[in-house]
Structure 1
């Protein structure tokens, strides 16, 4: 079976596995607010699915996204999820010979999008104590060349969970502005951060802020997100969007409802996921050779380093899979550092986190004796 077919079959099996505990894709499994469910049910009852949505998204949703970010003067272009926004931005801003700079590790797909239009990709390593698991602005400045067209940062970083300080954002913006490049600030995990600073406040003319409803609101399967940017940039992007007939009306109705109830619903989600992080960290601390890389994480996930324990990440993932628990091997995010860690998602029911933590010592021992490689994606 070819690579793409094998990958799709793998995820098809996961989606069709009854009772699977999803602790590997940063998806949010909190019980949704009734208002969000009602908004979708009402949309279906009204048979809105017969019509196309406005091409840039419902005006109410566009305004709500900008208000949630607090980026007055910027405008939102609704997309079929944050990854579609990234695809759109890379294809609109990059061309043959341009340079795209990001970190290692990072979210991999924008690198593929950049390469698909002929751009070259440069990654700046940030994994490890020697880097503090974060991007130092001076290292970015050193990496930028005259060909640099786009700098892409995931902040908080996926998979590490580190978030840029105000001073780091200022330094990153300074380096990008001096190069005359665009800055794509992927803020998919912003809502989970203890502190977060938007680059667009400092560099509004060339910053594209990527917004997602997959994580904080738990709408991963509905595919709705946005790019927020200066009106001139959005005008350019809107000239040839991949979803020129509008994103899903059902998804947008759910997102609108979610923004309205965010202040009363999301704090409970945040508290539970942070409690799950603490629970998992305690369990990790009880197993010799394991360690949490960044704690507390500013995302809804934790990176657990497992090299000193003498086990392969893919072996540990495979052992948990036999218990119908999905976690993620580091190689999904980075071939350079992927043999060092696993990633565990924490926006899950506390019972799932408790089960994972209770099984951890046994899974480590079983992984230590596992010789065959598992085919994972």
Structure 2
């Protein structure tokens, strides 16, 4: 009969059951650029995972949790972690749901809040996972473009308001904003809240970079509209452990049970020992000044990268938050840069309904200063070669 396992030379034919069309998703640009970086020995300034190891207090907590927290956790999360998150976020721990990373948190919320025929409103450039997650619910993603001007990325509240229709059910926002590094002002947030209240919209506030900002602390949307805001967070971004996949949802009071109705039929629970470790680490991170030190280190690396890119002729838009910056250079594409030994994310990866600005790229500076210096040296060599040619 032959080997009929997928991947063993077996091809699904037209006379056999077919996978649903949603299973035809292609490799994400983030996975692709990381794969190419590994294959070609390129410096990976594309996918946003830190080069540094997680803090010692987090690793020690994980070692202490192994052998003690090894079975299923409750779908809502370990009580100790929900309480620690409640104290850290200024909410009731009963309103917190622990998830397998922020990606699952966003997936749960789209499933809980959206259905066929609904619309979710968001800004573009947009983090790519938002669009397929909305599509999986049968709803439609509507994007409103941000603009690039002399002051950098600009948010247009009237344009956002004009995009609301009777089908609009939710606003999905990200602040600090990936990929632009925008941090919305209190005035802009007040406008967003007024819009949501006028049209009775849910707000999904993706705040995974809530501790990664340069300047005043970002205002959480839940403090302005607690009755309609679901906040998404990530221990991976805060504690430099993106592979741990510990995220969370802080829901409006009384709505967590509805989220749990969906959560218990997805991954059921996040890894119990890692939940216990994050529960122990959160207060230590706050008390020790870990976040302030992390911000200072990232700001130094951001300044290094931005200065080097400007010296190579790029227009750089320094972020007010996240660990990404965006840049424009007429001669650069992600393909040409990977050929030079540097992996970045092309700007068009963040656009679905509008055209990306020509020459736009996103750069991650959550890497070591040495890696950033090597990347700049490689780009400088390419620039010198181009001049000689």
TM-score > 0.5 by shorter chain: yes
Q: Deviations over 1:228-272 (max 9, x none)?
A: 011322111111214463211132123223313213223222211
Aligned pair 1:216/2:253, yes or no? Answer: no
Q: Which moved more, 1:190-199 or 1:79-88?
A: 190-199
Q: Deviations over 1:143-162 (max 9, x none)?
A: 11111101111111110001
2:155 to 135, 148, 151: 135
Retained in 2: the 8 A contact 1:332–1:338? no
Partner of 1:299: 322
State the secondary structure of the residue aligned to 2:262.
Answer: coil
| Larger Rg over CA atoms | 2
User: Any residues of structure 2 matched to 1:301-340 within 5 Å, and which?
Assistant: 301-307=324-330, 310-316=331-337, 318-320=338-340, 323=341, 325-335=342-352, 336-337=355-356, 339-340=358-359
Cα distance in 1 for residues equivalent to 2:73 and 2:96: 15
Distance 1:366 1:261, change over 3 A: farther
Aligned pair 1:248/2:271, yes or no? Answer: yes
Retained in 2: the 8 A contact 1:30–1:269? no
Cα distance in 1 for residues equivalent to 2:98 and 2:154: 29
State the secondary structure of the residue aligned to 2:75.
Answer: coil
Retained in 1: the 8 A contact 2:46–2:344? yes
Q: Deviations over 1:184-241 (max 9, x none)?
A: 1100112112330111112111111111112121121111101101132211111121
Retained in 2: the 8 A contact 1:97–1:120? yes
In structure 1, runs of 5+ residues without a counterpart are 370-377
Aligned pair 1:34/2:62, yes or no? Answer: no
Distance 1:131 1:113, change over 3 A: farther
User: Any residues of structure 2 matched to 1:354-369 within 5 Å, and which?
Assistant: 354-364=373-383
Q: TM-score, normalised by structure 2?
A: 0.84
Cα distance in 1 for residues equivalent to 2:100 and 2:267: 11
In structure 2, runs of 5+ residues without a counterpart are 1-6, 8-22
Cα root mean square deviation, aligned? 2.8
Instruction: State the 1:353 CA deviation.
Output: 1.7
Cα distance in 2 for residues equivalent to 1:60 and 1:27: 27
State the secondary structure of the residue aligned to 1:113.
Answer: helix
Instruction: State the 1:128 CA deviation.
Output: 1.4
Q: TM-score, normalised by structure 1?
A: 0.86
Instruction: State the 1:64 CA deviation.
Output: 1.8
